Amino acid sequence: MENSAQYPSIPVIEPAGLRFSEPPGELVHANGHYEKRFSELDGLYADAEAYLAMLPTLADTTVYSVTDYKPSSDAGDLIVGVTRMNPGRVGDEYFMTRGHIHAIPNRPEMYFGQTGNGLMLMEAPDGEIRTIPLNAGAICYVPPYWIHRTVNIGEAEFVMAFCYPADSGQDYKIIETSRGMRKRVFSDGANGWRLVDNSDYRPRSFEDIRRLAASAR
């Protein structure tokens, strides 16, 4: 740029044009992608026996994949992407993402349902639970400090887009430490879902929550 030497303190990031694929599931011109295979999700589901029984046939099967565009990891920048998740259950529990809180915990996120029938399961640090349906056209706002995980409660592939601050990061340990989220999403035995108490759940202490609050930026 002609006058760029006058503005040395402004980091110049290239604008980008991207496109959600049709049918949904991909992001054209993305620069990141990963797959989460069934064998990598040990310990996620309540029914460990059912998981082990499914492992030999499903080990290399992708449960969900994430495709995103990350211009930078600067504070104030944004990441946009798409997660696609296969339908399935381990025992009565629907396929889901690992779930996390943002490593900078006061970073929010927006989710946009694209296809299929999904659910956003959210947990506040004190254990409060919320669910928001995510199907085509639905938008879910995940506020700062909420642990979040998406669940495919349908019979078809579930696809959602997301956008969040580029410096957020993901902290997966918070769910491991509490031995799962406080509620799990199970089939109701008909065509629907129900929330079930996680009997292994360990609530966070006052000190845990104080530490989270202290890591806000």
Mark the segment that binds ligand PA5 (CB under 6 A) among 41-49, 92-100, 114-122, 206-214: 92-100
Give me the least distance between CB of 95 and ligand PA5, in Å please: 12
Closer residue to ligand PA5 in complex, CB, 149/182: 149
Q: What is the token pair recorded at 208?
A: 């845990």
CA distance 182 to 202: 8
CA distance 102 to 92: 28
CA distance 165 to 112: 16
Scan residues 156-195 and list those touching ligand PA5 (CB under 6 A): 162, 164, 170
- Contact status: 72 vs ligand PA5 (CB under 6 A): no
User: Do residues 116 and 154 make contact, with C-beta atoms less than 8 angstroms apart?
Assistant: yes
User: Can you say whether the dihedral through the CA atoms of 124, 127, 128, 132 is positive or negative?
Assistant: positive
CA distance 80 to 161: 7
The site for ligand PA5, by CB under 6 A, has a size of 14
Amino acid at 102: H
Binding mask 23-52 for Mn ion (x = CB under 5 A): ------------------------------
User: Radius of gyration of the chain from Cα atoms?
Assistant: 19
Closer residue to ligand PA5 in complex, CB, 89/98: 98
Mark the segment that binds ligand PA5 (CB under 6 A) among 5-13, 53-61, 70-78, 143-151: 143-151
Closer residue to ligand PA5 in complex, CB, 1/170: 170
The site for Mn ion, by CB under 5 A, has a size of 1
- Contact status: 68 vs Mn ion (CB under 5 A): no
The SS3 assignment for 54 reads helix
- Contact status: 154 vs ligand PA5 (CB under 6 A): no
Backbone angles phi, psi at 48, to 5 degrees: -65, -35
Closer residue to ligand PA5 in complex, CB, 72/170: 170
User: Can you say whether the dihedral through the CA atoms of 20, 21, 25, 28 is positive or negative?
Assistant: negative
User: Do residues 70 and 29 make contact, with C-beta atoms less than 8 angstroms apart?
Assistant: no
Binding mask 96-125 for Mn ion (x = CB under 5 A): -------------x----------------
Which parts of this chain interact with ligand PA5 (CB under 6 A)?
A: 66, 81, 83, 97-100, 109, 148-150, 162, 164, 170
Which parts of this chain interact with Mn ion (CB under 5 A)?
A: 109
